[in-house]
Amino acid sequence: MLDPGINADRLRSRLERLAAVGADPDHGRQDPGRPHGVSRFPYSAAHAEAMRLVAAWMVEAGLEAGSDEFGDLVGLRAGEEGWPAIILASHLDTVPHGGIFDGALGVLAGVEAAQALREAGCRLRHPLAVIGFADEEGHAFNRGTLASRMLVGDVPREQFPAIKGYDGRTLAEVLAAFDPGLPRARCPALAGAYLELHVEQGPVLASSGRRVAAVTGITGMARTAVTLEGEANHAGTTPMAARKDALVAAAEVVLAVRAAADAAGPPAVGTVGRLTIGPGATNIVPGRAELTVEFRTPDGDLLTDLCARCEADIGRVAAERGLTSQVAPWDRKDPVPLDEGIRQAIAGAIVAAGCESFAMPSGAGHDAMILAPHVAAGMIFVASVGGISHSPREWTAWEDAALGAEVVLRTVLALDARGPLPARRLPLAYGD
């Protein structure tokens, strides 16, 4: 048996090839040498194409590849009878005009680790699963980590017909219509470890001259959708004092979100990322505004306070301006610590890969936070150039992408050598 090794060129060429699936025409081209931004939305034709492409690479890596009923791509390699699986995962969807590493790196590094093991004739004793979750960004239904939450039942099946997407279809309709043309596959129910490689998406590693880190925990976050109803009216004849201008009210809500996050201080953050107004004409006072609000902090109590303060601000602004307001139930995920045993295995793999051991929290959300309550979970970060992400300018040095995959491979080998990992039964919410 050879020493398994990551093929950095193969990983790079697959990342570049996958980046072309759902790539934006001309959007975000910052540098002729760098790919465009990517807009690969869940359950789209581009998503299905990406699944088929990565499934073919999974087969090359010795994995049986297929898709589950939630649109996740699942690659499996059997291990010893009765041993729990080691799961390597991330997501295949992107934000609008996102980067080529967010999600894709974790999935392709999992495939690359499987292929390195196969080529070295190295048979793990634990089964190996590589998963590309369908919808982590939450762009279609304003619910982040939606696919992994469906998988473990955190978003129950009976809610699917009531969850409406921005395109007007319900989650139930979208899932029923989505067919990537792959065999059926399922995430293994018995799990021993979950490992996710991801770009940091922030400035910590890059600003400290580091390349790689083990993640200690993932921030809490809460999102909602706000509707402000005023009165559309003539822009020329409606006196300022008589207006019920929904956009002015929305602007005050945006500033209130900013003020609340500033008052809470770092690492708390608040964002209004989506805003639509109607009817939408130069000479009409906006009668309606719809916006999303999101807060994040590793402090669960502070997250509760921020949401409460935001609702109070919305009510106040609406009352002052003679509008009605509607705040959807907050879609909340509590802060999650990651498993200390897995973190130590990652730290050992980082040192074995020739880097200084370093640990840090995650300000970004990840599917790992959904799996962590059900199986020992860990994350590995590699540096984001300039700390930029959710942008066509997201970039990670190719050698750092390969380093991340090497740390994944070394961590998997270290975990496998521990003998059967403590087995946890995932509360998989598959139908019959």
Binder of ligand HGY out of 72, 135, 137, 406 (CB under 6 A): 137
Q: Which does 287 bind (CB under 5 to 8 A by kind): Mn ion, ligand HGY, none?
A: none
Site for ligand HGY in 190-229 (CB under 6 A): none
Shortest Cβ distance from residue 197 to Mn ion (Å)? 11
144 binds Mn ion (CB under 5 A): no
For Mn ion, what does the binding mask look like between residues 5 and 44, x meaning CB under 5 A?
----------------------------------------
**Ordered DSSP codes for 197-244:** EEE--SSHHHHTT--EEEEEEE-EEEEEEEEEE-B-EETTTS-GGG-B
136 binds ligand HGY (CB under 6 A): yes
Shortest Cβ distance from residue 381 to Mn ion (Å)? 11
Shortest Cβ distance from residue 196 to Mn ion (Å)? 9
Instruction: Report the candidate in 302, 138, 298, 278 with the shortest Cα–Cα distance to residue 215.
Output: 298
Task: Give the residue ranges of DSSP H helices in 265-397.
Answer: 300-321, 340-352, 368-371
Collect all residues with Cβ–Cβ distance below 8 Å to 160 and sequence separation of at least 6.
150, 170, 171, 172, 175
Q: Which does 103 bind (CB under 5 to 8 A by kind): Mn ion, ligand HGY, none?
A: Mn ion
Q: Which amino acid belongs to residue 129?
A: A
Task: Give the residue ranges of DSSP H helices in 39-197.
Answer: 45-60, 104-119, 146-151, 171-177
Site for Mn ion in 47-106 (CB under 5 A): 102-103
Residue 19 contacts residue 104 (beta carbons within 8 Å): yes
68 binds ligand HGY (CB under 6 A): no
Shortest Cβ distance from residue 105 to ligand HGY (Å)? 12
245 binds Mn ion (CB under 5 A): no
144 binds ligand HGY (CB under 6 A): yes
Taking the least distance from each CB to ligand HGY, the nearer of 185 and 364 is: 364
C-alpha span between 395 and 33 (Å, rounded)? 12
Tokens in use for 353?
């890969």
SS3 13: helix
Site for ligand HGY in 89-108 (CB under 6 A): none
Q: Which residues bind ligand HGY (CB under 6 A)?
A: 136-137, 144, 364-365
Q: Which residues bind Mn ion (CB under 5 A)?
A: 102-103
